[in-house]
Structure 1
């Protein structure tokens, strides 16, 4: 736990008592703050009481006594309308911050030289965060990973000079972290997302920009117009910007040339890494993730040999293009986290011969946007409520069957892929749907896929989740 000594003796209000909220309240209390916490859910309040956290209805509190208000990132700050606690805080002139801001202040107070890599973007931030932390750990560094992935940021080990922090930041968290100041800040990409919480794309982009604007070095993917404008704007302001691209040959920065990771310096090129043969980092989207990790790790002092070793040993994220097994020429890939068509597109574009398991609770728009990848699909196996609609979209373009259940789909896809004589065949669960019609969440769905694959006679498990 990171005890927040920077709030010692100060009265702090806190709203939101989920897992990260309780961790934050305990960190504040441990550091000597006078905390008053609340939640709209009585069960959450009771749980906090059981942890020894002082609770009380913030509607009845004297807000003039609070120095700060710590808000859970999941609670609306601006859109669709501010939460009632936000209105009370603003009315009293109390600053509104979140757990990432507490981390930043504590690092500044106690170990300002501790390397801090903060990562954001619409897509790819979890993989990039996990990959960066893995490279650091494999190189023998004390790497702490958390934030919007894994551990709540205030549960990480306390700041010290030789401790490396890799923190995934959502737009919600950045919005509550006005002094965020990473050693290396990464902005991967921007596409419309969370507009119900941010109102407009311009506002959403401006929030993401704060992370790199406060960085010693801003690492920015320039393959979309929003990020390109941010990179240009920060450079004009005199900030140190490193540009990365998964498809452009840059004059300065890092870019992908097939599976080669290249550095450009004034138009002169050199290779800084490669992804050939690294199954967990297939696809252009993962080339961008790898480039960001390479640039960030170089910034905090690693050498190219250490970085390449980390790339090659990266196991991938669970449920995100996760290789779970192989039988002869058939590879089984769990991409259960792909809960809409846009999320399924990277996996479908990464393999040339796919036996595709898709379906579940459908999202608006279905799979029409994936039509450009239909030529890669040898056969589709449709499950759940989306099966009729998906079959109509596939039509005559892709052979398919309505398997109904995931177990049947895995059995039939494995059988058909085994008969494929065209080289490596991939049985891919990338549902392009939510899981709620058949499973509690995408994690449970992905675990069911893994278990079904590992039950096939002759399959060799891959990774650390074997039977």
Structure 2
């Protein structure tokens, strides 16, 4: 745990007692603050009380007594409307911050030169965060990884000069972190997402920009217009990352699966991703190139970086290889909760038995039409079934399966028939990449992916990865 000592002797309001909220309450208390916590879920209030956290209904609180309101990132700050605690805090002149801000203040007070790598982007940030942490650990560094990727930042060990914090940040978390100033700030890409929480693309992009604006060194993927414009405004140290042909200025390049250091003359190949199953697809070229930009800035040699890539296990639920049965490869990409994320998976394979559906996002899957020729068959589940059926009609054969279990059974049988008859030189792939939120049928995308993994592993004759 990182005790949050910068509010010692003061009283702090906290709303949201999920995983990060409870960790924040315990961190503040360990640092000497009085915490008054609240949540709309009575069970979470009870769980917090069981760990010694003071709870109360903040509607009845004396807000003038609070030094800050610490808001969980899932609670609306501005859109579609501010949460009621935000209105009360602003009326009383109480600053509204998040747990990342508490970490930043603690770092500034305790060890301002402690290495802090912060990663954001619409897509790819979890894989990139995990890859950077893996490379640094393999190189012998003391690494703490967390934030939006799973472990609450204040549950990690405290910042120190010899410890690197590698932290994934969502736009919600950045919005609650006014003093964000990482050693290295990474912006991968910006495409439409979370507009219900930020109002419009301009506001969303501006929040993402704050992460690199305050960084001592910025690493920015410049293959979309928003990120390219942000790189153009950057005045401090900057490494541009290009996928495909080089764009404006020197940087780190990723071409045909090879990471190239284009900052040197002549440019030098650093690592080849061919054969690394956890880094399939062109989207992972960018992830690997960004990881090299960060690792090299922290002193990792090209040879050490290339060696670390080969042992990267990947992330659960993101292009995760579950196993093979005969000629059929099974891929769990449950983390693909929007069309842009699913595009990355579709681009990685040729003969796809695609399981998709759930709670649909704005825009649906129409943008994926260029990849429809790769789809051997689609298997629709959940609330999006009829909307997606209308998009696929006449372009991709599909089945209304309803449930994930039915979809896995039908897709596995069809893919095996295709592989056995040898209709294509490309291996058949059963791909769960839903392009939807999970909440219509599952607790989370993790729950959805876990269930898919369990269904696949129960298939007779399945061989695990690497077998």
Same fold at TM > 0.5: yes
Q: Secondary structure at the match of 2:43?
A: helix
The answer on 1:443 being equivalent to 2:443 is no
Deviation, 1:333, is 0.9
Q: 1:399 and 1:75 mapped to 2: Cα distance? A: 40
Instruction: Indicate how the Cα distance of structure 1 residues 17 and 444 shifts in structure 2: closer, same or farther if over 3 A, else same.
Output: closer
| Contact kept? 1:330, 1:417, Cα under 8 Å | no
Q: 2:299 and 2:18 mapped to 1: Cα distance? A: 36
- Measured against aligned partners, the alpha-carbon deviations of 1:428-461 in whole angstroms (never above 9, x if no partner) come to 1223344455444333332232223223333221
Q: 1:385 and 1:62 mapped to 2: Cα distance? A: 44
1:281-292 matched pairs, under 5 angstroms:
281-292=279-290
1:8-27 matched pairs, under 5 angstroms:
8-27=8-27
In the alignment, which residue of structure 1 is the partner of 2:435? 432
- Measured against aligned partners, the alpha-carbon deviations of 1:37-71 in whole angstroms (never above 9, x if no partner) come to 22233332222221111223333333333222212
Deviation, 1:274, is 1.9
In the alignment, which residue of structure 2 is the partner of 1:315? 313
Instruction: Indicate how the Cα distance of structure 1 residues 420 and 229 shifts in structure 2: closer, same or farther if over 3 A, else same.
Output: farther
Deviation, 1:266, is 6.9
State which drifts further: 123-132 or 440-449: 440-449
Instruction: Indicate how the Cα distance of structure 1 residues 210 and 455 shifts in structure 2: closer, same or farther if over 3 A, else same.
Output: same
In the alignment, which residue of structure 1 is the partner of 2:205? 205
| Contact kept? 1:383, 1:409, Cα under 8 Å | no
Question: CA RMSD, aligned part only?
Answer: 2.2
Residue-pair matches, total: 461
In the alignment, which residue of structure 1 is the partner of 2:333? 335
Deviation, 1:129, is 0.9
1:138-157 matched pairs, under 5 angstroms:
138-157=138-157
| Contact kept? 2:326, 2:416, Cα under 8 Å | no
Q: 1:268 and 1:59 mapped to 2: Cα distance? A: 64
In the alignment, which residue of structure 1 is the partner of 2:354? 356
In the alignment, which residue of structure 1 is the partner of 2:98? 98
Instruction: Indicate how the Cα distance of structure 1 residues 196 and 368 shifts in structure 2: closer, same or farther if over 3 A, else same.
Output: closer
In the alignment, which residue of structure 1 is the partner of 2:82? 82
In the alignment, which residue of structure 2 is the partner of 1:398? 396
In the alignment, which residue of structure 2 is the partner of 1:411? 412
Q: Secondary structure at the match of 1:130?
A: helix
State which drifts further: 265-274 or 162-171: 265-274
- Measured against aligned partners, the alpha-carbon deviations of 1:23-45 in whole angstroms (never above 9, x if no partner) come to 10110110111222222333322
Q: 2:86 and 2:398 mapped to 1: Cα distance? A: 51
Deviation, 1:264, is 1.6
What TM-score comes out, normalization by structure 2 length?
0.92
After superposing on structure 2, the runs of 4+ consecutive aligned residues of structure 1 that deviate more than 6 Å are none
Q: 2:116 and 2:133 mapped to 1: Cα distance? A: 11
State which drifts further: 192-201 or 162-171: 192-201
Q: Secondary structure at the match of 1:460?
A: coil
- Which structure 2 segments of 5+ residues have no match? none
In the alignment, which residue of structure 2 is the partner of 1:300? 298
Q: 1:433 and 1:288 mapped to 2: Cα distance? A: 23
Q: Secondary structure at the match of 1:255?
A: strand
State which drifts further: 211-220 or 275-284: 275-284
| Contact kept? 1:413, 1:427, Cα under 8 Å | no
Q: 1:330 and 1:52 mapped to 2: Cα distance? A: 52
Instruction: Indicate how the Cα distance of structure 1 residues 385 and 58 shifts in structure 2: closer, same or farther if over 3 A, else same.
Output: closer
1:35-50 matched pairs, under 5 angstroms:
35-50=35-50
- Measured against aligned partners, the alpha-carbon deviations of 1:170-223 in whole angstroms (never above 9, x if no partner) come to 111111111111111001111222222222221211111111011111111111
| Contact kept? 1:97, 1:177, Cα under 8 Å | yes
In the alignment, which residue of structure 1 is the partner of 2:259? 261
State which drifts further: 84-93 or 163-172: 84-93
Q: 1:286 and 1:420 mapped to 2: Cα distance? A: 32
Deviation, 1:165, is 0.6
| Contact kept? 1:410, 1:449, Cα under 8 Å | no
Instruction: Indicate how the Cα distance of structure 1 residues 141 and 221 shifts in structure 2: closer, same or farther if over 3 A, else same.
Output: same
Q: 1:159 and 1:361 mapped to 2: Cα distance? A: 39
